[in-house]
Amino acid sequence: MYRLSDIKSTVQQTADAIAAALKIEVEIADSDLIRVAGTGKYKSQCGFPMDDGFVYRHVMETGAAVIIDDPGFNDLCQPCPSRGNCQEYAEVAIPIRVEEHIIGAIGLVSFNEKQTKRLMDNKQSLLLFLEKMAELLVGKVIENQHNYERELMTSQLLTVLNLLHDGILLINDQQHVTHYNTLAAKLLDIDENQDQVLYQLLDDKRLWFAVERGDPFSGPIRGKRVATQLYCDVVPIKNNGVIEGAVISVKDIKQIKKLVKEATVSEIETHFSQIIGESPKMNTLKALALHVAPSKATLLIQGESGTGKELLARAIHQSSKRKGHAFIAINCGAIPENLLESELFGYEEGSFTGARRGGKLGKFELAHNGTIFLDEIGDMPLHLQVKILRVLQERRVERIGGTRSIPLDVRIIAATHRDLDEMVKTGEFREDLYYRLSVIPLTIPPLRERLEDVPILVQFYLDYYATVTDRSVSGITQETIDILANYSWPGNVRELGNVIEYCVTMVAGGNITSDTLPQRFKTLLKPESQNSSLNLKKLEREAILKALSLVDSEGHKDDAAKLLGISRATLYRKIKEYQIG
């Protein structure tokens, strides 16, 4: 918004200059008819409303200049209380216009015959002169507004820069620091009373070479005045293809690691009390896990899919001296083989096509001082098993494309649903790694071996999913609990949780009954026909078909063999014998 009052001193200087040149009194008003400047008797009235400003109001409303040679008798003077007794002899007024807006008016006023004659004899030249003075004022108003907007923008940008969690430097093409935020000043020990040059603050060679090429840069940089390890991201500033400088963001590497630690630690508030089960097997397992948790020993957790291997690993971490540090979990079977190595060990910049600028920290480095959980380690390729073995032996890691070994203090907990002992015999898993991992083996029993835990697991999941789904469920009938407690659970605790979630979602209030259960349970509840054949082979074939159908969702014939109480080889032979597709 353009206002004459914002350049009050300039307006007064202009009025004084006009009055001195023309020997006529001058007054200048803004759009609210507040006298901004004046000479002679008007000077003492500056800053006050113009009670007799009828002529100026007309000029600003019409946008046209006015010449009055009969003050007090002109039609524009009718509302004036001094009409017919005006002390003014003549008046000339023109609008001050910025674009389409009128922001004020300039008036020349004579108080004697001599001034009046000079005014009337030179009307056109005076109007032209006043227009030039109005243009001068407009230019100053616009300049002042632009300066204000520029200062406001600068203030806003500095506020934003100071809110960032990175130090920010703006560098010109001569490597001089033109702007910086408060965090940059702190990280780099910048003296605000001295001009700063990039090489005085940072080890700038690699960084500036990239800028001169017009390329961005990311990577660790050594500070000149501080011992802190820094990480920099640099983007060149280009103007019509010419490098005019760069923007540099500076991070404290220790702070980055702290943020990673906070992000990972916050997810692992898992305690042994959250591992549901009071059966003898589960109590024995929890007691052993709690006993070994404070140690530094490598652990191997074995158990079928869905038994809660990661939950146990998190509880062990939370009960160890490392609980204040990161717990990093990675599923070795879920990540493509060509990506798994870089995820685990990280890489240096330029080590392969598509490598991120500045390189990348691997999961082992992120887990420093904490715990890394290698889930499904039985699916890890043999060539990576060698590198894992080296980490276990030397407690050091080397990034892809790197030339230095990085020392590590990390506890490894591995887990698998596969039979590693059998895999060692077939050459699918390294024997030396197997013995390194299984220093203290922990085996989670499948749910079918601890069916006495089903009722308390059912209640746990019932309460949990009723809260999560915001459904009102009164409870579950004893008949339904008995059915669930006599099911073989090939999918283990995960399958039980899914069944209860289904029931909570499907029940229309009240209790969960056997009718609420998924379809596969209703099939199991159908009474056997009284005319069923007692032919032994037919019964055996039906038993195999039923076992295979129960594990169909998981697809493991090993589980079917366990349900039937026979070996995997026997199951395959029976499938072939009975021509079961």
Query: Using one digit for the tens of pLDDT, what is the confidence trace for 385-434?
Result: 998 999 999 998 888 887 778 888 999 999 999 999 999 999 999 999 99
Q: Which range, of 218-232, 298-312, 372-386, averages the lowest pLDDT?
A: 218-232
**Pairing verdict, β 229-239 and 101-110:** unpaired
pLDDT attached to residue 532? 47
pLDDT attached to residue 534? 54
pLDDT higher than threshold 70 for residue 314:
yes
| Of 214-228, 336-350, 451-465, highest mean pLDDT | 451-465
pLDDT higher than threshold 90 for residue 540:
no
pLDDT higher than threshold 90 for residue 443:
yes
Spatial contact of 184 and 250, defined as CB atoms under 8 Å apart: yes
Mean pLDDT, to the nearest integer, of 362-383?
90
For a pLDDT cut of 90, what percent of the chain falls above it? 38
Q: How confident is the model at residue 523 (pLDDT cuts 50, 70, 90)?
A: low
Mean pLDDT, to the nearest integer, of 534-539?
70
Q: What is the DSSP letter of 447?
A: G
pLDDT higher than threshold 70 for residue 525:
no
d(CA 243, CA 236): 7
Q: Which range, of 258-272, 283-297, 333-347, 474-488, averages the lowest pLDDT?
A: 258-272
pLDDT attached to residue 64? 92
> Which domains are present in the chain?
4-146 (3.30.450.40), 164-257 (3.30.450.20), 270-443 (3.40.50.300), 447-520 (1.10.8.60), 536-577 (1.10.10)
454 or 532, greater pLDDT:
454
pLDDT higher than threshold 70 for residue 236:
yes
pLDDT attached to residue 266? 45
Instruction: Give tens-digit pLDDT for 245-289.
Output: 999 999 887 777 666 655 555 455 678 888 899 999 999 999 999
d(CA 408, CA 328): 14
Q: How confident is the model at residue 452 (pLDDT cuts 50, 70, 90)?
A: very high
Instruction: Give tens-digit pLDDT for 269-279.
Output: 678 888 899 99
- Kindly report the backbone phi and psi dihedral angles of residue 74, in degrees, each rounded to the nearest multiple of 5, phi listed first: -70, 155
pLDDT higher than threshold 60 for residue 528:
no
Instruction: Give tens-digit pLDDT for 347-371.
Output: 876 666 666 666 778 888 888 889 9
pLDDT attached to residue 360? 77
Mean pLDDT, all residues of the chain: 85
pLDDT higher than threshold 60 for residue 500:
yes
Mean pLDDT, to the nearest integer, of 491-510?
89
pLDDT higher than threshold 70 for residue 575:
yes
pLDDT higher than threshold 90 for residue 557:
no
pLDDT higher than threshold 60 for residue 161:
yes
pLDDT attached to residue 531? 46
- Kindly report the backbone phi and psi dihedral angles of residue 71, in degrees, each rounded to the nearest multiple of 5, phi listed first: -55, 140
d(CA 189, CA 252): 13
d(CA 540, CA 115): 128
> Would the pTM count as exceeding 0.85?
no
pLDDT higher than threshold 90 for residue 447:
yes
> Counting beta carbons within 10 angstroms of the beta carbon of residue 76, is it exposed (0 to 12), middle (13 to 18) or buried (19 or more)?
middle
Q: How confident is the model at residue 95 (pLDDT cuts 50, 70, 90)?
A: very high
pLDDT attached to residue 530? 43
Three-state helix/strand/coil letters over 170-212: EEECCCEEEEECHHHHHHHCCCCCCCCEHHHHECCHHHHHHHH
d(CA 89, CA 117): 10
Secondary element (H or E) of residue 476? strand 475-476
pLDDT higher than threshold 90 for residue 14:
yes
d(CA 406, CA 116): 94
